[in-house]
Structure 1
């Protein structure tokens, strides 16, 4: 509501309820009826289950993480705007853990400019890409029947990011870890591209997470990034 300039009264009008009802949602954590919640979520441009996880849990006996925003069958189904919009909204943290992910630069040539802008506004940007000479990167190429292609893409990714080396607030590192998931984090949101043996990353699933007080999944991946970052090697200016 704050980001969109919504007041209790203006959102109440869209959701067809009294402003006091909206005030209770915000200040008392009340959950509206599903129909009302859908109207409010549509007006705000948010996922209804992200606003009120109880609505999702009420429909199923299974335990569902309140942090799961969306699940994509494969990365190729995720619009590039989902990545760039998320990064654009970041105010504190941007963390990227990949082997290459050159699709971002290829589909969005302004990526480096976007990262510079975020860093200039005080956002800490950490990019970890694969070390093309590491055994784990080369093994991934063999598993995905991609041969030396993945090594070449790691070198291409480094070439794309190298102009950012030395920019205040931005650090680029290379890592040689076994990459179980590619992570794209912007503050309290994260896109997780799972890796499946023998499948290229673009054909593997992606889940969109948003940190929630009652969830642990986001924190697990954030800690994983920090662990890899601690082992990674800073890229030096040429």
Structure 2
């Protein structure tokens, strides 16, 4: 099996196999086997890799973790980004293209996914392949949306982005496996779920979403953080208004 954890961490760091191999001092074919065949590097080399990627060994090679020393919660936190803007285009593309079963989205706007990463045609293609989409966007007239726009210093701007997102998603709403709903709840976090990967974009008073931190969680047995945010999504989803 392929080591998708290592592949994702490399994409996030803008590192090719060749560059990684060069920095840690191994043959590129050896580094490629770490991904394609899920080979585990020798200990000294592993230390170089994790230092370069800013991860823990257990993040990249879960089989090495000692259950007595690593809690499920620690294992769930795959990566931390100081801001949403720090997530690379390669990382977003990898998460979207790698979808196999489900995508959940909880935002007010999220229009950058359409305009930068071609979300609408991707939804069409993935839905035809059996992927399920639950997409929750804001209601531009809701007090929570209007208040958030004023708090971030863009009165009217956020409402316009919400309207754009709703127009874009109208093209796919109602396709088999695609559900779009609007909501007017307070957006404590924007949530981006791609199968077992979940990005949690926390929001800060007076700051734009792109300036706020993001936690990349991976679903693991016995973990509670991933499920905590999934339940939050489900509560907003239950209160949402279907677009069709």
Do they superpose with TM above 0.5? yes
TM-score of the superposed pair, with normalisation by structure 2 = 0.75
Aligned to 1:224: 232
Q: Which residue of 94, 100, 112 maps to 1:91?
A: 100
Aligned to 1:137: 145
CA distance in 2, matches of 1:231, 1:212: 28
Sort the Cα spacing of 1:116 and 1:170 in 2 relative to 1 into closer, same or farther, 3 A. same
SS at match of 1:154: helix
TM-score of the superposed pair, with normalisation by structure 1 = 0.77
Aligned to 1:35: 44
Q: Which string of whole-angstrom CA distances, capped at 9 and with x for unpartnered residues, describes residues 184-211 of structure 1? A: 1011001111101111101000111111
Sort the Cα spacing of 1:32 and 1:93 in 2 relative to 1 into closer, same or farther, 3 A. same
Q: Which runs of 4+ in 1 moved over 4 A?
A: 36-41, 55-58
Aligned to 2:177: 169
Aligned to 2:89: 80
Q: Which string of whole-angstrom CA distances, capped at 9 and with x for unpartnered residues, describes residues 24-58 of structure 1? A: x9xxxxx99743656999xxxx9742232737996
Aligned to 1:28: none
Please provide the CA RMSD for this pair: 3.2
Aligned to 2:80: 71
- Identify unmatched segments of 5+ residues in structure 2: 5-28, 32-36
Deviation at 1:88, TM superposition (A): 1.7
Tell me which structure has the larger Cα radius of gyration.
1
CA distance in 1, matches of 2:143, 2:199: 26
CA distance in 1, matches of 2:44, 2:172: 47
Q: Which string of whole-angstrom CA distances, capped at 9 and with x for unpartnered residues, describes residues 65-87 of structure 1? A: 21111111111111133223212
Deviation at 1:124, TM superposition (A): 0.8
- Could you tell me whether the CA contact under 8 Å between 2:72 and 2:220 is conserved in 1? no
Aligned residues: 209
- Could you tell me whether the CA contact under 8 Å between 2:104 and 2:134 is conserved in 1? yes
- Could you tell me whether the CA contact under 8 Å between 1:49 and 1:56 is conserved in 2? no
CA distance in 1, matches of 2:105, 2:73: 26
- Could you tell me whether the CA contact under 8 Å between 1:57 and 1:64 is conserved in 2? no
- Identify unmatched segments of 5+ residues in structure 1: 5-12, 16-21, 26-30
* Within-5 A mapping of 1:102-121: 102-108=111-117, 110-121=118-129
